[in-house]
A and B are shown apart, each in its own frame.
Chain A
Amino acid sequence: MSPLPLGQQLLDTCAALLLLLSFAMLSQRRVVALVNLYALQGAVLAAATLLLAWRTGEDHLYVSAALTLVLKVALLPWLLHRLIRRLQVYRDTEPLLNVSGTMLVGLVIVVFAFSLAQPITRLASTATRSAIGIALAVVLLAFLMMITRRKAMSQVVGFLSMENGVLFGAMSASYGMPMVVELGIALDVLVAVLVLGVFFFQIRERFDSLDLHHLESLKEHE
């Protein structure tokens, strides 16, 4: 069998990187590092998009690559860093599930995600269909991360990386969504982060900490 073309190999490497980064985020406890990892993920995503654009010549992919670059590598991390500095939240406390355990669960999830991706892969016509499983895995891992974290900040980062996963999925399955949708999504993410910013300050001025265990008063069970 013939070796895959270079672009293909690069793309697969990007996908692998993304998955790696998600695992890294899952295990990472320092918020600043977390944000950096997120930025890195954004960068890889952008790179992948560029590659894809270059290989397929779909020009709207250039736009979305640029969008990703601006938004997820530059703007959002910068915002988050500012927030961290302003709010003095550097470390997350011990996650609810210890790292090795989380890793184990993450592994299981990856397997599940791959098996899940089979039918989609069979269907998709793109050169990158093999990456769908990874995209799904990234989404689910981000989900897992949100579950296991105790600080609002790291939960947000998880939320954003989930967005990454979804976008990567969109790209690898069908060379991205229609432009209007892409724009809409980007807008939403941006607004979301702004809203979150406001939120953090409100939470801070109330509880002077971003620890989530303050936010457990509304419940049915006493």
Chain B
Amino acid sequence: MSAIDWITQVLEVVAAVAAAPAFLGWLNQCRAWLQNRRAPSLWLPYRNLRKLFHKEAVIAEGASPLFRIAPYVVFGTMVLAAGIIPSMGTRLPLVGSADAIALVGLFAAARMFMTLAAMDVGTAFGTLGARREMMVGFLAEPALLMVIFVASQISSSTALPVITDHLASGRLGLSPGLAFSAVAFILVLLAENARIPVDNPATHLELTMIHEAMVLEYSARHLALMEWAAQLKLFNYVCIGFALFLPWGVATGHIGPMGLAVAIPALAIKLAVAGAGLALIETLSAKMRVMRIPEFLGTAFLFAVLGLLVHVLLGT
């Protein structure tokens, strides 16, 4: 492990933490434009975070320590996740320590703490949100894993960087298996990050809300951390998508300064495109009823499994 690998590692994490709000801002901007609204500033998310951090924190009486720990844990896991996902380079020191399965486990841990925290105060909304979140989770997680497994079957490894290496080396064109799993992945991404059509982050309508319901009891810095974590999560998912399906530009093999010089702009461009794409999808689709969500995710899961089967069938 040379110094530059470490630099890349740190850079990735820092970049993720720094850029996540911006990405959300960009997404909202695109949405606004697509809906002919005046777009909010790209920096709005940063201002929100700043404002929240300066506020005085209020915690419900019935809250246990778990409630206060949760935001830090959630945020921390998301940051760590950002370190695992090869968004710029693939020769990362953390490669060995956690592979894709561990990554999914990490997301699961974040979700678990979030839901437990939501149930901690014991309000109607919190528990309701927790239930819905888990309902999303227990279908989204397997789907995500299956998506990853298709790639790892191709590259015979579950370590994301290795997968990216393998795919980026362009030895294969788009495999049919991957095509299926790409569709599945997009569905999972929407669901996991509380985007339309699964959830609408912009409203507090109790009939539909999931993520908002869980963080309803949070305020100030705790809320800020939760929001930031959410933004990070979105960012991470997009990066996973890149790693699996659009690995181009990522500095593979031994990383030189040149590699980074290519990788960073490439990432920026990909992010911009992805944001626009997501905005488009969200604009085109309508929010669905909560009980339809499982079917939505079931489809995703099915697609993923299909992808795997197709790969086993044709891939050899």
Q: Tell whether any CB of A sits under 8 Å from a CB of B in the complex.
A: no
Chain A contact residues, CB within 8 Å of chain B: none
